[in-house]
Structure 1
Amino acid sequence: MPSRSSVSQFFAIRAQWLVWLCALGGLTAPLSRALPTNHVSWLQWLVELAAHWQWVYATVGAVAMGLVAWTLRRRAWWLAVPALVVAGSFVWQPATLPPAAEPGAASAKVLKVSTANLNLDTTDFTPLRQWLASADAPDVVFLQEFTELAQRALDDDTAIAAHYPHRLAVKQSDPFGLAILSRHPLADAKVLQPATDLDTLRLRATLLWNGQPVHLSALHPMPPISSAFAQARDKTLEDEARHLAQAGGLSVMAGDLNTTPWALGLWAAEPAQMRRAGPAMPTWPNAWGWLSGLPLDHVLASQGWQLVEAHTGPDLGSDHRPMVVRLVAQ
C-alpha cells in the first residue's frame, strides 16, 4: 500500500504540470493579438481559439496552485510566476465604461439594455416571455438566433406587446435571425444583408430616448470555425464600431459576438471609442443554469455612457445566458 507521502508527491507533480499548462494558456491571450493575421492567419487563429478559455485556466490553475502550495509548503514560492501570468490576462483587456453611482429610484436617465442568444433549437419560450413581461425587463433587448417560432411566441403575448411596442425583427431558419425590442420609439431602421458567404445579417436603428438619439447596432457574426470566419468577424466588429463613431453621439452595439476580451475582435472596436459595458462575465455554455466558461455575449457602448451595473440575466432555456447592463448618459 503506498504511503501518504508518495500519494502527496503523485498529486503534487501532476498539479505542477497543470500550473504551468494554465500559465501557458494565459500567455495565448497576448500572443494571439501579437501574431500577424495577414501572413500566418492559421496560426493566429489556432492560438486565439486557445486564448478564449482564460476563465478555465484561472479556475483550474488556482486549484492546482492551492494543491501545490499545500504539498510543498515553503518551497512553493515559484508559484508567483504562473500566478502573475494567468492574472495578467484579466488585467490586459479592452477598456470598459467608467462606473457611475446608482441614480435615484425615480431617475429616467438609466437605460437598461440586454442581449440574449435564444438558441435555434429552442421551442419553449415561456422563460423568455415571463422575463420580458416582468417588472425587471430591460428597456431595449437584442435577440439572436431569432426564428419564426420566437416571433410567434412574442406576437401572441399581449403583455410583451405592451412592454415593447417598437421592434425591428428579421426571423430566419438559420442561427442568424436578429431582433431589437424597445420600449422607446425606433427610427431609421435598416437591415444589412450579408455581402459575402463569410458575413451575417446586421440590424441598425436609432433609439429615441429622453429626447436624444441613441444609435443601435445588432449583430451575430459567425463563430471562428476557421481563420477566414474569425477575420470576417473582426472586420464586422470594426466596421460597425466605425459606423457608430461616424454617427456621433450616444451609441450601443450588442449581440452574441462570438469572441472574448482575450481575442482580436473586441480590441478592433477600441479605435472607434466603443467600450465594453461590464467585465468579462461568462455566458456560454449555459450548463445547469449557472455554469459558463466563455464571455461571448457583449454590450459595447460609446464614450458618452457610464456603467451603473452589469450582470447575467435569467436562464431562458438557451445555451447562452443573457447579458444585462444599466447605462447612464454622462
Structure 2
Amino acid sequence: MRLRIWLVRLAVLGLAIAGLVLLLPKLAGHWPYLGLAALIHVPAMWLGLASTLGLLARRVRRAQLSPSRFGLTGVGLVGIALILIVALQPATRVPALCPPNAPRLTLAWLNALHVRRPDLIRRWLQRARPDVIGLAEMRSGAAGLDAYLARNYPFVQNCQRKGECSTRLYTHIPPTGKLGLARGDAEQRRTLSGAGLVFPASPGTRAWSIAAVHLSRPTSPEAQARELREFDARMGADADTLILGDFNLSPRLPVLRDFVARNGLAIARADQPTWPLELGKRRLEGLWQIDHLLTGRHWHVESFKTSPWLGSDHRGFIARVCRVN
C-alpha cells in the first residue's frame, strides 16, 4: 500500500514538472531566460505523458469496480494526455521528395571552430560538392582548405561589408548582390554575424537569396532576439529565402519559433543532434539540433545529412533542396 502511495506521488510530481516546463517558455515574453526551459521540453513531456498514463491506468482499474469512480478526474487525465501528445509534435519538418524536374541545389553548413581539422573539412566538402557553403568561426590560414575554397568557390561574402569576419558564404554561382549583415564588432557578439547572397531569377522562378548566420550563445536569449531583428532589418526573409546557421537555439526555443513564424519559414529536421560533440577531451554524440537550415515556402528539403566529427564541437550538414513555386 505504501509503495502505491509513493508511486502516485511520483506520478503527480512528474506531471507537475511537465506542466511547468510546458508553461515557462510561454512566459518568455516577460523574462527571456524562461524560454531556456524548452531545452528539456521533450524529456519533460515524455515524463508527463508516462505519469499521466500511469494515473489514468489506476483510475481505469478503480472504475472497473465502480464506473462512477472514473469521474471528472479521469476525463481530465485524458485531456492532459492529449495536450502532452500535441506538445510532443516536432517543431521541424522532415525531408520530402521533390518533383523530378524541380531545380535543385546542394548546401553545406559547418561551424568550423577555428578550422582545427581543415583536412577533414576539405574531404567532406569534396565528397559532397555543394553549390553553396556556409561557415562560421572560419579563420584563414588552413592552406589546403583555403586553396580548395578559392579554386572552386570564387564568390565569397563574409559578415562585414568591408573587412573580414568569421561567418562566410562561398559559392560557384554568380550572385547579383552581396550583403555583409554585421554593423560593428561581430566577433565579440556585439552585432549580428551574418552574410547574404542574392541570385537572379531563372525561367519559371523568381530571384532568390541565401544567408549564413551565427547567433550569440544559448544563454543569451535577449542578444539572440536582437540579432534576429537585425537580420529582419538588414536582409529579411521571404518565400524564396534560405538561411543556414549556427543559431545556438534548439527548434523549440521561443526566440527561434517567433522568428520562423513571423517570416513564414520552416526548420529542416536533422538526422542527429548537431551539438555538443565535445566535453573537454571527451567525444559526445550531441544533445540538441542548434545548426539549422530554414526555408521559405518556395523551397523544399529533399535530404538533410549531418556530418561526422570534423574537428569542431558541432556537426555540419549537407542538404539537398529544390524550388517548388
| TM superposition score normalised by structure 1 | 0.71
* 2:176 corresponds to 1:187: yes
Contact 2:178 2:198 in 1 (8 A): yes
Q: What SS does the aligned partner of 2:110 have?
A: strand
* 2:124 corresponds to 1:126: no
Contact 2:264 2:296 in 1 (8 A): yes
Aligned to 2:88: 90
AA in 1 matched with 2:170: L
AA in 2 matched with 1:320: H
AA in 1 matched with 2:129: A
* 2:154 corresponds to 1:165: yes
Aligned counterparts of 2:233 and 2:192: Cα–Cα separation in 1: 18
AA in 1 matched with 2:41: Q
Q: What SS does the aligned partner of 2:231 have?
A: helix
CA apart distance, 1:128? 0.8
Contact 2:183 2:192 in 1 (8 A): yes
Aligned counterparts of 1:273 and 1:234: Cα–Cα separation in 2: 17
Q: Deviations over 1:202-226 (max 9, x none)?
A: 212214585653212221121143x
Q: What SS does the aligned partner of 1:148 have?
A: coil
The change in CA–CA distance for 1:249 and 1:272 in structure 2 (over 3 A counts) is closer
CA apart distance, 1:241? 4.2
* 2:36 corresponds to 1:53: no
Contact 2:27 2:35 in 1 (8 A): no
Question: For the pair shown, which has the larger CA radius of gyration, 1 or 2?
Answer: 2
Q: Which of 244, 248, 262 is the aligned partner of 1:254? A: 244
Question: What's the % identity of the aligned pairs?
Answer: 21
Q: Which of 137, 151, 165 is the aligned partner of 1:145? A: 137
Q: Which of 304, 314, 325 is the aligned partner of 1:320? A: 314
Aligned to 1:235: 226
Aligned counterparts of 2:108 and 2:315: Cα–Cα separation in 1: 10
Aligned counterparts of 2:103 and 2:121: Cα–Cα separation in 1: 26
AA in 2 matched with 1:178: T
The change in CA–CA distance for 1:232 and 1:74 in structure 2 (over 3 A counts) is closer
Q: Deviations over 1:30-50 (max 9, x none)?
A: x3234434xxx3xx31x2222
AA in 2 matched with 1:251: T
CA apart distance, 1:156? 3.1
Q: Deviations over 1:56-87 (max 9, x none)?
A: 4467x39x949x96xx9953878877765554
In the TM superposition, structure 1's runs of 4+ consecutive aligned residues that sit over 3 Å from their partners are 8-22, 55-59, 72-90, 160-163, 194-198, 207-213, 241-246, 278-281, 287-290
Which residues of 2 match residues 265-280 of structure 1 at below 5 A?
265-266=255-256, 267-278=258-269
Q: Deviations over 1:158-184 (max 9, x none)?
A: xx545433322469xxxx711112232
The change in CA–CA distance for 1:301 and 1:73 in structure 2 (over 3 A counts) is closer
The change in CA–CA distance for 1:239 and 1:303 in structure 2 (over 3 A counts) is farther
| TM superposition score normalised by structure 2 | 0.72
Q: Which of 287, 295, 301 is the aligned partner of 1:301? A: 295
Aligned to 2:18: 23
Gaps of 5+ in 1: none
Q: Deviations over 1:80-124 (max 9, x none)?
A: 77765554433374x759x642444xx57112223211124x522
Q: What SS does the aligned partner of 2:18 have?
A: helix
AA in 2 matched with 1:53: I
Aligned counterparts of 1:127 and 1:14: Cα–Cα separation in 2: 52
AA in 2 matched with 1:309: S
Aligned to 2:58: 75
**RMSD of aligned Cα (Å):** 3.9
Contact 2:196 2:210 in 1 (8 A): yes
The change in CA–CA distance for 1:253 and 1:74 in structure 2 (over 3 A counts) is closer
CA apart distance, 1:302? 1.6
Contact 1:25 1:57 in 2 (8 A): no
AA in 2 matched with 1:27: L
CA apart distance, 1:279? 6.2
Contact 2:159 2:182 in 1 (8 A): no
The change in CA–CA distance for 1:14 and 1:75 in structure 2 (over 3 A counts) is closer
CA apart distance, 1:313? 2.6
Aligned counterparts of 1:312 and 1:293: Cα–Cα separation in 2: 14
Higher mean Cα deviation, 77-86 or 214-223?
A: 77-86
Paired residue total: 295
Aligned to 1:220: 214
Aligned counterparts of 1:76 and 1:311: Cα–Cα separation in 2: 45
CA apart distance, 1:143? 0.8
Aligned counterparts of 2:264 and 2:292: Cα–Cα separation in 1: 15
Aligned counterparts of 1:280 and 1:80: Cα–Cα separation in 2: 32
Contact 1:119 1:319 in 2 (8 A): yes
The change in CA–CA distance for 1:35 and 1:141 in structure 2 (over 3 A counts) is same
CA apart distance, 1:258? 1.4
AA in 1 matched with 2:39: H
Aligned counterparts of 2:89 and 2:17: Cα–Cα separation in 1: 16
